[in-house]
Amino acid sequence: MLAACSSMDESADQPADKQQTDQQAVTFGAYVNRGTTRSGTAGELSTTSLQTGTHATAGFGVFAYYTDNAPYSTTALPNFMYNQQVKYSGARWTYSPVKYWPNETGSTAQSTGIDRLTFFAYAPYVEVSDPNFGLTAEPSSGIAALTRANENGFPYVRYYVDTDPSKCVDLCYATKVENMTKPTTDSPVTFNFQHALAALNVQIDADVDNTTLHDHTNAVDVNTRIFVRSVTFTGFATKGQLNLYSGAWNNLDCDCDVTSAPVTIYDGRWDGYEGMSESPNERPAGLNPAIVQSGAYTTTSSFTSTTTGVTKTAVNLFNSATATDPIYVIPTNVRVRVNIVYDVETYDPKLVSQYLGDGVTNGSTIENNITAILAEDFKITAGKKHTINLHLGMKSVKVKATVSNWETGGNADVEVPQ
């Protein structure tokens, strides 16, 4: 988990009265503890990546609220900074246009009021196509929308999870810096970012006739393929709004319940009609292409197919060639359940009236629908990296034969007349 805090350097190098009369620019500092864009720069976000790495071009975004002599409240508007991009350059955080601290504070100010500024920040920065609507250029994945420029209330970031690890955006937010007055020194507004999402890596393999738990010694028979149709998770969400004031995830005002809605990842095929013409009825794809049935089979002296399916070697459940690549999901902090639907398909030319998933090749197809409830303390939590290993236990049908011994039958004498 990432510790979140906001701090200012209160030391002074010159008299406060002198500083209050000078125009002092608002400057920023930012740190991410370990743990022009469209929907956000993909990849894990860290202090290094934000300054000089993959996220340096984007930087982070700031909302600033000027409330004059009143403390921040939900009636305020982002009237001082709206989605202000801040980037690291020349060993400091820079932005444009530069803003200055209000001067109505201090013993030499010609005012009895106390000007206040409140700051919120998120990373990585994304542009909005129109501040009046707050939508990003790609509102279906990653950072989809931001609070609008004319919208009061707590600022937010709307986020949609992508199941392609190469496209996943690691959304971070900073604890609010609330009701600040002009500092007595040239101190930056410091943001300490924490991860709003959880990193989830799911791997899948086949345990075939294992003698010890998950020994992965035996391979799936050459005539059999295991294809995943869908995996449903309860324990994380794929749609939500992050409240930048509280750091909490809220339900969208549409079709998402971030607390309990199950999330299903499909193979991209029309469930129950594999191999047939499916468009426009196919399910949204999200599973690793290596573990789903794709196209017609080819048969030679032994069974082969266009994809290998699930084998004894663990692979990424999602669309990644690297087994350990995570996706970033919205945490719900509830117990995790996993339901998996998969087919075990075996080529058998003698089954002349039965067909595999392509609807052409002879063989048997057995659908398995299994639900597992994970340990009660296994919960998807923000700022944590989680790994789920799905082991499909495959027990081959063994055949044993015995031949009974001859038993002694009855004796009979038959008299044949002479």
Q: For the chain, give every domain's residue range.
A: 16-196, 199-394
Yes or no: say if 215 and 196 are a contact pair by the CB < 8 Å rule: no
Yes or no: say if 199 and 326 are a contact pair by the CB < 8 Å rule: yes
In this prediction, residue 252 carries a pLDDT of 58
In this prediction, residue 34 carries a pLDDT of 44
Listed residue (239, 236, 235) closest to 373, CA to CA: 235
Higher pLDDT: 57 or 31? It is 57
Beta strands (DSSP E) in 142-292 are 142-146, 156-160, 172-180, 189-195, 198-208, 224-234, 236-237, 239-243, 249-250, 263-266
Higher pLDDT: 410 or 17? It is 410
In this prediction, residue 254 carries a pLDDT of 45
Instruction: Express each pLDDT in 345-380 by its tens digit.
Output: 998 989 989 988 777 888 899 999 999 999 888 889
Tell me the C-alpha distance between 32 and 36, whole Å. Answer: 21
Higher pLDDT: 38 or 399? It is 399
In this prediction, residue 96 carries a pLDDT of 96
Yes or no: say if 135 and 62 are a contact pair by the CB < 8 Å rule: no
Yes or no: say if 269 and 283 are a contact pair by the CB < 8 Å rule: yes
Q: How confident is the model at residue 175 (pLDDT cuts 50, 70, 90)?
A: confident
- Across residues 303-325, what is the average pLDDT? 87
- Helix, strand, or coil (residue 166): helix
End-to-end CA separation in angstroms for the chain: 107
In this prediction, residue 110 carries a pLDDT of 56
Yes or no: say if 226 and 288 are a contact pair by the CB < 8 Å rule: no
Cα 143 to Cα 33, 36, 122, 134: the distances in Å are: 21, 13, 10, 11
Instruction: Express each pLDDT in 251-302 by its tens digit.
Output: 754 444 555 678 889 887 765 544 444 455 556 778 999 999 876 676 655 5
Please list the alpha-helical segments (H only) found in 109-174. none
Radius of gyration from C-alpha coordinates of the chain? 31
Token couple for 51: 């300054």
Q: How confident is the model at residue 35 (pLDDT cuts 50, 70, 90)?
A: very low
DSSP structure class, residue 25: B
- Across residues 151-171, what is the average pLDDT? 93
In this prediction, residue 150 carries a pLDDT of 94
Contacts of 213 (CB under 8 A, 6+ apart): none
Q: In what order do the strands lie in the sheet with 249-250?
A: 142-146, 156-160, 239-243, 249-250
Tell me the C-alpha distance between 145 and 402, whole Å. Answer: 70
Yes or no: say if 264 and 356 are a contact pair by the CB < 8 Å rule: no
Instruction: Express each pLDDT in 90-144 by its tens digit.
Output: 899 999 999 999 877 655 555 666 889 999 999 999 999 889 889 887 667 899 9
Tell me the C-alpha distance between 283 and 272, whole Å. Answer: 11
Q: What is the dihedral of CA 178, 28, 196, 327, to 10 degrees?
A: 170
Q: Looking at beta carbons, which pairs linking 294-302 to residues 24 or more positions away fall under 8 Å?
A: 295/358, 296/358, 296/360, 296/361, 297/347, 297/356, 297/358, 297/360, 297/361, 299/347, 299/349, 299/361, 302/222, 302/223, 302/347
In this prediction, residue 271 carries a pLDDT of 54
In this prediction, residue 215 carries a pLDDT of 78
Cα atoms in the 13 Å half-sphere on the side-chain side of 236:
28
Cα 173 to Cα 5, 116, 136, 176, 196: the distances in Å are: 11, 21, 17, 9, 6
- Helix, strand, or coil (residue 294): coil
In this prediction, residue 114 carries a pLDDT of 83
In this prediction, residue 10 carries a pLDDT of 27
Listed residue (174, 188, 236) closest to 45, CA to CA: 174
Tell me the C-alpha distance between 305 and 358, whole Å. Answer: 10
In this prediction, residue 7 carries a pLDDT of 30
| 1 pLDDT higher than 50 | no
Q: Which fold has domain 16-196?
A: Immunoglobulin-like (2.60.40)
- DSSP per-residue letters across 40-82: ---B---HHHHHTSTTTTT-EEEEEEE-TTS---TT----SEE
In this prediction, residue 129 carries a pLDDT of 86
Contacts of 41 (CB under 8 A, 6+ apart): 54, 55, 57, 58, 124, 169
Q: How confident is the model at residue 390 (pLDDT cuts 50, 70, 90)?
A: very high
Average pLDDT, the chain: 83
- Across residues 222-227, what is the average pLDDT? 90
Residues above pLDDT 70, as percent of the chain? 80
Using CB atoms within 10 A of its CB, is residue 211 exposed (0-12), middle (13-18) or buried (19+)? exposed
Using CB atoms within 10 A of its CB, is residue 412 exposed (0-12), middle (13-18) or buried (19+)? exposed
In this prediction, residue 24 carries a pLDDT of 81
Least confident of 25-29, 152-156, 163-167, 387-391: 25-29
